[in-house]
Structure 1
Amino acid sequence: MKNTLLVALLAFGTYLPSQAQNPIIRDVFTADPAPLVYRDTLFLYTGHDTASVKETNYKMPDWRIYSTTDMVHWKDYGTRLSPRTFAWATGDAYASQCVYHKGKFYWFVATFHKKDDNSQGGAAIGVAVSDRPTGPFKDAIGKALIVNEMTKDKPHAWDDIDPTVFIDDDKQAYLYWGNLSCRWVKLKDNLTELAGPITVVNIKNYIEGPWVYKRKKLYYLVYASAGTKPEMIEYCTAPSATGPWTYRGIIQENVPNSFTTHPGIIDYKGKSYFFYHNGSLPTGGSYRRSICVDDMYYNPDGTIKPIVQTTKGVAPVK
């Protein structure tokens, strides 16, 4: 009986008690939130900080998954992917995003490439695939989708990070990513091949962490900004997925006890939500971050109202 229960817990995840209070995940340190709505469930794909209190750099061994149906109680599926999944990869598990397309789930991740015949190393973007939102996931193509040698407009080796994928109404998929340089490229319908050249976009104050989506007839590019240290969240809008982008301003000020923040935006059960991370848990910090969520509101013209960061979090939904 005990073995049967254990197998069930591992297969279906365990529930985390929550009072809808920020941060929403409190038993481990999580970062870089990427929400996805599938059927009646909101799935949250996250990074995982494991650096010690004294360490001064990231230690991120894997990616995790959580889910909710009421924005209050979060189901913990544990680790579902790591750089070890990719034979070509080494190093940390940076920001990621999972999207649903034609019956499959594609998890785009940022990690680092081994030095081999295909790359001299540096940050790279891979893609894993599964038939279910919680996995198991496997390397979709057996190689990196983006390697450092493909992007030469910035000299540093960690510029190919933080992928976000947007699938437009006509089913054309776009990949956006980059540190200190925002880039985009069309993807083929299989989401595992490039369908055109890589384009660099000149975005005011851009540093990293793009998140692209469409609401009504307006396209949004939301990102972590380099205007100050620590980071803030700013955004642009456009009439199409490729621009031209019009700068709209700051929507989130600095977060507590972390010099980075990272947006994840989703509509769920009639409300809009803004996910981000901070360092507000006990012993937390810039390398021991925690994911939060707050309500998000729009003005009549489609511009985003400033995000109010709270410790209360969001109200439950039916």
Structure 2
Amino acid sequence: MTHKHLIGWAALCVMTVAGPLAAQDTSHKPGANPIIRDRFTADPAPLVVGDTLYLYTGHDEARGDAMFDMREWLVFSTRDMKTWTPHAPIMNVKDFKWAKQDAWASQAIEKNGKFYFYAAVAHDDSHPGMAIGVAVSDSPTGPFTDARGSALITNQMTPEGTHSWEDIDPTVLTDDDGTTWIAWGNRDCYIAKLKANMTEIDGPIRKITPPHFEEGPWLHKRGDLYYLVYASFDRKTQSAEHTSYATATSLDGPWTYRGELTKSAKNSFTIHAGIAEFKGQGYIFLHNATLTVGDQSGAVGRRAVTVEYLQYNPDGTLKPVTQTEAGVSVPPPPAH
């Protein structure tokens, strides 16, 4: 999740929905967007476990013209991509005793029979700046507890950075050899190997920053190709984040820039992708700000998670994605 530098662009960001979608809209079709309609959610991170897809999100609670007010992480589950079951919040930022605020973007991963949850938070004054914590649970629906009692990554571990919020938006991937990697960042993208215990960095932290990288990296692998999908921002030409991606045949790189995957999200400066293959179909989760809940309409601090089909070209590149109202309430387009 993002964006302290957004404050400088607040005039761009404080936007509200032109035509509010009522949360009580009975015409909403299962699978249509936004998929969660009774609260504001952001930064979606899917995890497939057997015949169930779990979706981890942040919880936007900002009111009025406030920017970000995020205190807890939520999880929803589905078996058909049409109906979503809410579960109790899996964790509050206060559960990281060393953190002071900001339950920002996260991702969960299963390994060795446990579920590990990596999340960005604001560290207390002992290590100023944004940081990444790791929590653990025996269940994908939690509750999760701090696995270390301290941050996995602090701002001081990336000293070449120029701002205090560069250590955000963790993404994790277990490779075919069983090694798990974590990538993260704002303006620069970092990557490091995790130890087998999933709670310590193993070896150096490296930069793999692709063109126009802003934040929100998401790692996944398909066949022999690695994908780094991320929120991109060209300060010369754009007023809001788009989604772009790069590919590589090794996590060590080199990474080849493949261009834009999506345009900006409606009414939202930020965008954040989460990708999964579920029951033979690819999906990309995003967010926008087109939802109204009660007296609060969508805005930069009140976003809503969406989902679209994700399709690949024969050469492994990704077909461009457009956020739609229909989402997955309609069948996917033909593969070719």
Report the equivalent of 2:21: none
Alignment pair present for 1:164 and 2:164: no
Distance apart, 1:18 and its partner CA: 6.2
Q: Which residue of 2 aligns with 1:53?
A: 64
- SS of alignment partner, residue 55 of structure 2: strand
Q: Which 5+ residue runs of structure 1 have no aligned equivalent?
A: 1-16
Q: Secondary structure at the match of 2:215?
A: strand
Alpha-carbon separation, structure 1, partners of 2:326 and 2:274 = 18
Q: Secondary structure at the match of 1:36?
A: strand
Q: Given residue 85 of structure 1, which amino acid in structure 2 is its aligned partner?
A: D
Residue identity opposite 2:169 in structure 1: D
Aligned position for 1:181: 188
- Distance of 1:142 and 1:242 partners within structure 2: 30
Displacement of 1:104 in angstroms is 0.3
Distance, in Å, in 1 between the alignment partners of 2:145 and 2:29 is 31
Q: 1:53: Cα distance to partner?
A: 2.4
- Length-normalised TM-score, structure 1: 0.91
Residue 5 of structure 1 is matched in structure 2 by: none
Does residue 274 in structure 1 map to residue 284 in structure 2? yes
1: CA distance between counterparts of 2:91 and 2:156? Answer: 25
1:90-144 CA distances to partner (integer Å, 9 max, x unpaired)?
111010000000100000000011112xx2x110000000011001210001100
Q: Is 1:43–2:54 an aligned residue pair?
A: yes
Whole-angstrom CA distance in 1 between matches of 2:255 and 2:290: 33
Q: Report the TM-score, using the length of structure 2 for normalisation.
A: 0.86
Q: Is residue 244 from structure 1 mapped to residue 251 from structure 2 by the alignment?
A: no
Q: Which residue in 1 is equivalent to 2:41?
A: 30
**Percentage of identical aligned residues:** 50
Structure 1 segment 52-131 matched on structure 2, within 5 A: 52-55=63-66, 57-116=67-126, 119=127, 121-131=128-138
Closer, same or farther: CA 62–18 of 1 in aligned 2, 3 Å: farther
Match of 2:190, as an amino acid?
R
Aligned partner of 2:167: which letter? D
Question: 1:242, CA displacement in angstroms?
Answer: 2.1
Displacement of 1:306 in angstroms is 0.3
In structure 1, how many angstroms separate the alpha carbons of the residues matched to 2:98 and 2:246?
35
Alpha-carbon separation, structure 2, partners of 1:124 and 1:266: 25
Root-mean-square deviation (CA), in Å? 1.2
What is the rounded CA distance, in whole Å, between the counterparts of 1:229 and 1:162 in structure 2? Answer: 21
* Residue aligning to 2:308: 294
Report runs of 4+ in structure 1 exceeding 6 Å deviation.
none
Q: 1:262 to 1:45 in 2, by over 3 A?
A: same
- 2:245–2:260 CA contact under 8 A, matched in 1: yes
Query: Quick one: which amino acid aligns to residue 101 of structure 1?
Result: K
Counterpart residue identity of residue 179, structure 2: Q
Q: Tell which has more relative contact order, 1 or 2 (C-alpha 8 A, sep 6+).
A: 2
Gaps of 5+ in 2: 1-27, 332-336
Query: Separation in 2 of the partners of 1:202 and 1:124?
Result: 19
